[in-house]
Chains A and B, each alone.
Chain A
């Protein structure tokens, strides 16, 4: 899957939560006031389910979930850990 495809899927997931706000690749997802902290769980579950990944404990770092580009980077780096 290309980085563009990953990015688009992440954007499609986030869009309904941001009510028309154009989220930049580097924007802090949790700083803009559209989602609260409990959204973190939804985001982690989305990444695992959507991309068939089994995240390791070390992956559960805020730097991997803070922005669209962070999530894309995580998924791209873990693409070898896809759960069949």
Chain B
């Protein structure tokens, strides 16, 4: 391990610390830790710890680019909390206990397997949200394949917003010579290395970072029926989170319950507001502690990052529902996002038929990270089911009896 000190060309306001911190592990491979050195309310230096010898000049150049292009001109905006739970339940990080008791186990970076009582709890939370949107918004449920065409991500402008999260899927060329060479090299137990990629030129599929992209592709080129459309789906989602992966709160491989609203602007915004209130009531009924605030996505390495972040926060395009997980930490268990016409334009999704036929639709989505939701719940209620709210345990028991 070695430390590398990067002195900023010009100090940057300390208020930018959180936005800087959520990007630094993507700056260069080999970084295992970092510390922002702050004096008089400004960040002057960043001290990195690396697990291998790194080019200090190259690191400084990358950090300078990041801060000058994506951070320095960012407007500091005050926190805006739109809801707070009435309950204030103390939370304790229980990941160590989950591992000790054999309930959770790490299978790789950002990948955690788990058993009961978390499975029943996850199914319960998911089924409550699903039922809510089916009953209140007439949501139609779909199950999507795990793979998503790369072209769909391109149409979502994912490459220009979040290149750091991309996870490609590839395969060996269909060529007997390729298979024979592969067998010769690796069939005898040699460890697979990066050179295998020379025989895998395909990048036509990726792992999906979220479910709503599947929905936009599904409705591409269509006019919506009267009243618009509400779709819900649950599925595995994947984001390369580098060293930000932590316990069950930030995974490379996780499960999302997503709801997509498509229709007129007024209806979409009203649906988002209504659904947010329903989720606040649900969280309050569960006795969980948390809040909802205006948020922004971690846009990365593009010249319009500051513009995107300011727009998201100023126009309140994104709200995050955050729950306490102990030690003053919270985790975003869900978000409520208004897309304007961004996805509908890209996928040619038009408004309900009628006088405004042919006009591009508006859309919004809400997504819930189910592992995070479960984790926050057990950080607040513990692992002993007898301490959980009766409505939760009786619903889980009922579900098990039925199945």
Contact = CB atoms under 8 A, between A and B. Distances in A.
Interface of A: 30-31, 33, 36-41, 44, 55, 57-58, 60-62, 65
A44 B311 CA distance: 10
Nearest 6 A-B pairs (CB), nearest first?
Answer: A41-B307, A37-B311, A40-B311, A40-B314, A60-B77, A57-B76
B310 interface: yes
A6 to B, nearest CB: 20
Nearest to B345: A36
Contact of B340 (A36, A58, A61, A65): A36
A44 B314 contact: yes
Name A's interface SS.
loop
Nearest to A44: B310
Sort chain B's interface into a size bin.
20 to 34
B351 to A, nearest CB: 11
Given A37-B315, A37-B317, A60 B342 contact: no
Contacts of B342: 36-37
Nearest to B362: A33
20 contacts: A33-B341, A33-B359, A36-B341, A36-B342, A37-B311, A37-B315, A37-B342, A38-B304, A38-B311, A40-B310, A40-B311, A41-B311, A44-B310, A55-B75, A57-B78, A58-B78, A60-B310, A60-B314, A61-B314, A65-B314
A15 B341 CA distance: 21
Interface in B298-323: 304, 306-308, 310-317
B265 interface: yes
Interface in B223-242: none
Interface of B: 75-78, 265, 304, 306-308, 310-317, 340-342, 359-360
Contacts of B308: 38
Given A33-B341, A57-B77, A41 B317 contact: no
A41 B315 contact: no
B265 A31 contact: yes
B28 to A, nearest CB: 29
Contacts of A60: 75, 77, 310, 313-314
Contacts of B75: 44, 55, 57, 60
Given A44-B310, A57-B78, A65-B314, 19 more contacts: A31-B265, A36-B342, A37-B312, A37-B317, A38-B304, A38-B311, A40-B314, A40-B315, A41-B306, A41-B311, A44-B75, A55-B75, A57-B76, A57-B77, A58-B78, A60-B75, A60-B310, A60-B313, A62-B316
Contacts of A65: 314
Name B's interface SS.
mixed
Contact of A62 (B304, B307, B314, B341): B314
Nearest to A30: B315
Nearest to B269: A31
Given A31-B265, A60-B314, A62-B315, A37 B78 contact: no
B78 A41 contact: no
B297 to A, nearest CB: 12
Contacts of A31: 265
B262 to A, nearest CB: 16
A37 B313 contact: no
A41 B77 contact: no
A39 B341 CA distance: 14
A21 to B, nearest CB: 15
Contacts of A41: 306-307, 310-311
A60 B313 CA distance: 9
A41 B307 CA distance: 6
Contacts of A39: 311
A36 B343 CA distance: 12
Contacts of A36: 340-342
B346 to A, nearest CB: 12
A59 to B, nearest CB: 9
Contacts of B360: 33
Contacts of B306: 41
A65 B306 CA distance: 18
Contacts of A44: 75, 310, 314
Contacts of B307: 38, 41
Nearest to B314: A40
Contacts of B76: 57
A49 to B, nearest CB: 14
Contacts of A38: 304, 307-308, 311
